[in-house]
Amino acid sequence: MGEITVSAQHLDHLLHDPTSSYGAPYQQAFAALAASHRGRPVDEIVPLLVAAADRALLGFTGADLVEQAEAISNGARYELRVRVTGA
């Protein structure tokens, strides 16, 4: 399970918000990779997750991204604990 802290004003960088104009929420990129890269090597998925995290301006650790890539590769569930700060 991964963990990330996101400010309330940037929660739309992580989760899709139909009222937001932000165009690259990480949730959508993760879901797309999960659908298209199941069974693919972890080493192939990690750079794609890094790029998605960079576009979304999210600071996942390298270990979190590897865990996410392993879940995608194996078709396993991935749980992410999100801490939302007021600023």
- The pLDDT tens digits for 11-29 are 999 998 888 888 889 999 9
For 67, residues 6+ apart whose C-beta sits below 8 A from its C-beta are 1, 2, 78
Question: Which pLDDT does position 76 carry in this prediction?
Answer: 95
Domain span holding position 34: 2-85
Task: Specify the number of domains making up the chain.
Answer: 1
Q: Using the predicted structure, report yes or no on whether residue 30 has a pLDDT greater than 80.
A: yes
For 44, residues 6+ apart whose C-beta sits below 8 A from its C-beta are 37
Q: Using the predicted structure, report yes or no on whether residue 87 has a pLDDT greater than 70.
A: no
How much of the chain exceeds pLDDT 70, in percent? 99
- The pLDDT tens digits for 51-81 are 999 999 999 999 999 999 999 999 999 999 9
